[in-house]
Amino acid sequence: MSISTCFLSELKAGDSAVIESFSENEISEKLMEMGCLPGEAVKLERIAPLGDPLIISISGYELSLRKAEAATVLVKK
């Protein structure tokens, strides 16, 4: 299994990854307050039928993110 880097919004339902960094400081502060910290494991649980929002599992709970927010989170698969 090769390690690849992509944005959280590019994962498919069921994919797991580790948060690496953020591309926007303003949104990253909000996400870090909700537990989305670099080095934290994340799993994309579900994607809404129209593609927005995304439901992720992180730190033992589920979090709903807009696709635009998820597109600022760089992850390693």
Residue 14 confidence (pLDDT) above 80: yes
- Helical (H) or strand (E) element with 33: helix 25-33
Contact of 68 with 45, CB cutoff 8 Å: no
pTM: 0.87
Residues 21-66 have pLDDT tens digits of 999 888 888 989 888 999 999 999 999 999 899 999 998 999 999 9
Tell me what pLDDT residue 3 has: 77
CATH at 14: 2.30.30.90
- Provide the domain count of the chain: 1
Distance (Å, whole) CA 11 – CA 54: 10
Domain that holds residue 70: 5-76
Omega before residue 53 within 30° of 0, cis: yes
